[in-house]
């Protein structure tokens, strides 16, 4: 027979998970706004409406809390990008290279346009890039490698003859354009007198056409695809 947890145990577990999520959300906002060093444990617990001991209970210490905050969002971004790739490739023969690049670019840039949560995520990523506290391989293992693997498989579906090194360079070129757009947007927000970047929709369409044309041109020249 299956064991049934007492209602009191279920309630305690639910409250514990709610407390943990509040701590993660509060820490994320504060780390993004102030950075790791300037954020105190007390500030986090007050914002989350939890007691100071809850940090130790759920995460052991501030360092582990920071890592959990970062990994939680990185995995969320990773799954969004992989889902976009899978959505396009599930169309089978109806899938196109343009669709793949367009959907991937949209999933990459969507957090930039998304309300306060999206802004906090990007600020958190930027802070970790500029003031690293986590192992360098963490981002690669959690984000770069899994997403690139899915993109490489998708590219090989369209052009089976292209080697992995060339595919990797093509992906880097696409990501570079996306990161440049984000950087320009951040600079414009900080210095409104600087030229504004194009609308995200226009940026994605230009990137899609530019990148797909380059990939097709190379494939036709090198492999007669």
Q: How far apart are CA 207 and CA 117, in angstroms?
A: 25
Q: How far apart are CA 154 and CA 146, in angstroms?
A: 13
* Record: fold of 74-223: Tetracycline Repressor; domain 2 (1.10.357)
Average pLDDT for residues 95-117, to the nearest whole number? Answer: 88
pLDDT at 1 (0 to 100): 46
pLDDT at 84 (0 to 100): 97
- On the question of pLDDT at 217 being above 80, the answer is yes
Q: For residues 45 and 121, which has the higher predicted lDDT (pLDDT)?
A: 45
Q: Are 195 and 188 in contact (CB under 8 A)?
A: yes
Q: What tokens were used for 3?
A: 């064991």
Q: What is the CATH number that goes with domain 1-60? A: 1.10.10.60
Listed by start position, the domains of the chain span 1-60, 74-223
* Each residue's pLDDT tens digit, 2-32: 454 554 554 667 788 999 999 999 999 999 9
Q: How far apart are CA 207 and CA 213, in angstroms?
A: 10
* Each residue's pLDDT tens digit, 131-173: 899 998 999 999 999 999 999 999 999 988 788 888 999 999 9
Host H or E run for residue 67: helix 62-89
Q: Are 19 and 54 in contact (CB under 8 A)?
A: yes
Q: How far apart are CA 28 and CA 121, in angstroms?
A: 8
Give exposure, 105-130, as e/b (b: 16+ Cβ within 10 Å).
bbbbbebbeeeeeeebbbbbbebbee
pLDDT at 182 (0 to 100): 87
Average pLDDT for residues 105-111, to the nearest whole number? Answer: 91
- On the question of pLDDT at 188 being above 90, the answer is no
Long-range interactions of 31-36: CB distance < 8 A, separation 24+: 31/66, 31/69, 31/124, 31/127, 32/119, 32/120, 32/121, 32/123, 32/124, 32/127, 33/120, 33/123, 35/127, 35/131, 36/62, 36/66, 36/127, 36/131, 36/133
pLDDT at 66 (0 to 100): 97
> What is the reported pTM?
0.85
Q: How far apart are CA 4 and CA 189, in angstroms?
A: 54
pLDDT category of residue 118 using cuts at 50, 70 and 90 = confident
pLDDT at 81 (0 to 100): 96
pLDDT at 201 (0 to 100): 93
Q: What tokens were used for 160?
A: 């089976």
Distance of CA 57 to the CA centre of its chain: 28
- The neighbour count for residue 140, using CB atoms within 10 Å, is 12
- The neighbour count for residue 70, using CB atoms within 10 Å, is 24
Average pLDDT for residues 176-180, to the nearest whole number? Answer: 94
Long-range interactions of 183-190: CB distance < 8 A, separation 24+: 185/112, 186/122, 186/126
pLDDT at 184 (0 to 100): 87
- On the question of pLDDT at 83 being above 50, the answer is yes
Mean pLDDT (the chain) is 89
């Amino acid at each position: 027979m299956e064991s049934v947890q007492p209602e009191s145990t279920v309630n305690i577990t639910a409250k514990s998970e709610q407390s943990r999520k509040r701590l993660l959300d509060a820490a994320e906002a504060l780390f993004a706004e102030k950075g790791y060093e300037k954020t105190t444990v007390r500030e986090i617990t007050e914002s989350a409406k939890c007691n100071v001991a809850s940090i130790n209970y759920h995460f052991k210490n501030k360092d582990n809390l920071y890592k959990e905050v970062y990994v939680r969002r990185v995995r969320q971004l990773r799954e969004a990008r992989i889902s976009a790739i899978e959505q396009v490739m599930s169309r089978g023969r109806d899938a196109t290279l343009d669709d793949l690049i367009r959907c991937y670019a949209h999933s990459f840039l969507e957090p930039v346009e998304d309300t306060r949560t999206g802004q906090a995520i990007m600020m958190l990523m930027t802070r970790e890039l500029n003031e690293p506290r986590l192992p360098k391989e963490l981002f690669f293992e959690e984000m770069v490698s899994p997403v690139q693997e899915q993109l490489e498989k998708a590219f090989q579906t369209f052009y089976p003859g292209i080697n992995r090194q060339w595919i990797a360079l093509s992906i880097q070129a696409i990501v570079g354009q996306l990161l440049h757009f984000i950087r320009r947007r951040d600079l414009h927000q900080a210095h409104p007198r600087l030229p504004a970047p194009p609308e995200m929709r226009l940026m994605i369409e230009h990137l899609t056409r530019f990148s797909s044309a380059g990939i097709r041109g190379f494939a036709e020249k090198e492999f007669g695809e």
